[in-house]
Amino acid sequence: MTTAPLGELLPSLRELYVDLHRHPELSFAEHRTAAELARRLGEAGYEVHTGIGRTGVLGVLRNGDGPAVMLRADIDALPVEEKTGLDYASRAHGTGADGTEVPVMHACGHDMHATWLSGAADLLARARKSWRGTLLVVFQPGEEQGSGAKGMLEDGLFDIAGTPSVVLGQHVVPGPAGWVLTRPGVIMAATDALRIVLHGRGGHGSRPETTVDPAVMAASVVLRLQTIVSREISATESAVVTVGQLHVGTASNIIADEAVLEVNVRTFDEQVRDKVLAAIERIVHAEAAAAGAPEQPEITSIASFPVTTNDDATTERLTTVFRTHFGADRVIEAPLVTGSEDFSEFGRVAGVPSVFWLVGGLDPEQVLTAIAAGRFERDVPSNHSPLFAPVLDPTLATGVETLVTAALTFLSAA
């Protein structure tokens, strides 16, 4: 269904990918990235809007009467020091959330996502004689913070572009390059990130009887939180509760005034999510009361991602089309992914079907050998790893083809 010469475009797309990989930018600081992507959309004939949700880019291509199809890619990078050894590895630095300088890397593959969508937008513009309708090309900032999609929507994305008929997106994963993975219904988990402050009463380490020790309180909270999944969630359901940060004290002989924890929760079901969050609140308040804390603990949400749920019928339709295009051996069912995305916000707000699928991006021999040896988790770098680096071929071509094929599935034929 690709009606324009992808092969001719691939050298330019490789250059774009390498450029984006070398110059990653953190969430909502994607100024250089956004400018380059906007420039390419303009050259392809799109009506271009920038600065949506701070650094988001929208391209609109109106091509007669027909459905409106939205294609989305995220563009932000992570505060990770790259260790891939590539000759185009990132040496960039940026300012982290706490104001300190941090290394920056496209460790989640958003540079690949942006390149895919730029290539698909170009091909679809060249092939406009073969379809009718409207294309909405969205380059979204701030996905890693879980607020980029909401930011673009609150900034009037659909007021500018109109409401799409369907929303489509994809993500590179550590699967064999050239594979496409789809799944109807829930495909990615919801995430809740919480900041917990436990208030104690500080004092000298030699006189603990005059204090309320937040270190002991925090230790009790950490241990008790582990019982939520093991003792409160059914074996037929799933959840993950991780204490990722715990900060308390400044010296060995000082009992601090407070302890700060950051907790990450992953769930696939809204009722389970509510149960886990309620359990965290109950446990934190109970441990504070048991310790005689002078103040109530504070529990603050610092990030929240919804469950990514694919429309069943639309996913089945796309899966059939992908199998026809790529062959049944390259299109398989995706597993449930405990990672999270804010992609589904677009379809939810628009009130239309959305589909999110996965595209393999690593050397097939490496991946399949590791799986056969039972060493996949050890030997294959995952997204967010400083070693994560998709191979360019056939990853680039596959991701462009999936987007073009998917868009043409829903646009009207000319």
- Are residues 252 and 346 both part of a single domain? no
d(CA 125, CA 61): 8
Nearest to 335 by CA among 286, 371, 298, 285: 371
Range of the domain at 209: 190-304
Looking at the fold, whether 25 and 121 belong to one and the same domain comes out as: yes
Region label for 147, one of left (φ > 0), alpha (ψ between -120 and 50) or beta (otherwise): alpha
pLDDT digits (tens, 9 = 90+) for 336-389: 999 999 999 999 999 999 999 999 999 999 999 999 999 999 999 999 999 999
Same domain, 295 and 353: no
In a shared domain, residues 14 and 72: yes
* pLDDT, tens digit, 9 for 90 and up, residues 94-137: 999 889 999 999 999 999 999 999 999 999 999 999 999 999 99
219: domain CATH number?
3.30.70.360
Angle at 63 between CA 58 and CA 64, to 5 degrees: 130
Q: Is residue 1 part of a domain?
A: no
Q: Is 144 annotated as a binding residue?
A: yes
Query: What own/partner pairs with CB < 8 Å and gap ≥ 24 does 222-231 have?
Result: 222/246, 222/261, 224/283, 224/287, 225/263, 225/280, 225/283, 228/276, 228/279, 228/280, 228/283, 229/276
The C-alpha atoms of residue 285 and residue 278 are separated, in whole angstroms, by: 11
Work out the average pLDDT over 166-180. 98
pTM of the prediction?
Answer: 0.94
Question: Which residue carries 């300190």 as its tokens?
Answer: 100
Residues 357 and 249 in one domain: no
363 belongs to the catalytic site: no
Mean pLDDT of 25-42: 98
My answer on whether 313 and 275 are in the same domain is no
Q: Is 145 helix (H, G, I), strand (E, B) or coil?
A: helix
> What average pLDDT is seen over the chain?
97
Indicate if 183 and 311 belong to the same structural domain: yes
Same domain? For 348 and 222 the reply is: no
Give, as one character, the DSSP assignment of residue 28: T
Are 117 and 13 in a shared domain?
yes
Per the annotation, the verdict on 76 as an active-site residue is yes
Each residue's pLDDT tens digit, 279-337: 999 999 999 999 999 999 999 999 999 999 999 999 999 999 999 999 999 999 999 99
Q: Is 101 annotated as a binding residue?
A: no
Q: Which of 30, 36, 82, 143 is catalytic?
A: 143
Quote the distance between the C-alpha of residue 197 and its chain's center. Answer: 27
Residue 177: inside a domain: yes
Residue at 335 is within a domain: yes
108 is in an annotated binding site: yes
pLDDT in tens, 228-271: 999 999 999 999 999 999 999 999 999 999 999 999 999 999 99
**Looking at the domain assignment, is residue 93 inside a domain?**
yes
Under 8 Å CB-to-CB from 235, ≥6 apart: which residues? none
* Overall average pLDDT of the 32-55 stretch: 98
Question: Per-residue pLDDT for 2 more than 80?
Answer: no
Q: Is the dihedral angle over the CA atoms 77, 75, 354, 312 positive or is it negative?
A: negative
* Total domains in the fold of the chain: 2
Statement to judge: residues 99 and 200 lie in one domain: no
The H or E element spanning position 218 is: helix 214-232
| Model pLDDT for residues 196-232, shown as the tens digit of each residue | 999 999 999 999 999 999 999 999 999 999 999 999 9
What is the mean pLDDT of the segment spanning 171-198?
98
Q: Is 247 annotated as a binding residue?
A: no
The residue from 304, 329, 352 where one domain ends is 304
pLDDT attached to residue 98: 84
Average pLDDT score over residue span 146-170: 97
State the burial class of residue 402 (Cβ atoms within 10 Å of its Cβ: 0-12, 13-18, 19+).
buried
The CA angle 187-190-192, to the nearest 5 degrees, is 165
pLDDT of residue 1: 45
Backbone angles phi, psi at 67, to 5 degrees: -65, 160
Domain end call among 259, 283, 304: 304
The reply to whether omega before 394 is within 30° of 0 (cis) is: yes
Residue 31 assigned as binding residue: no
Catalytic residue among 25, 36, 76, 82: 76
Last residue of a domain, one of 268, 283, 304: 304
The rounded percent of the chain whose pLDDT value lies above 90 is: 98
pLDDT for position 414? 86
Question: 315 and 368: one domain?
Answer: yes
Q: What is the pLDDT of residue 88?
A: 98
Whether omega for the bond prior to residue 24 falls within 30 degrees of 0, making it cis, is no
Query: 406, 393, 355, 404: which is closest to 13 by C-alpha?
Result: 393
Residue 349 belongs to domain with CATH number: 3.40.630.10
Q: Is the pLDDT of residue 12 over 80?
A: yes
Q: Are 50 and 37 in contact (CB under 8 A)?
A: no
202 and 127 housed in the same domain? no
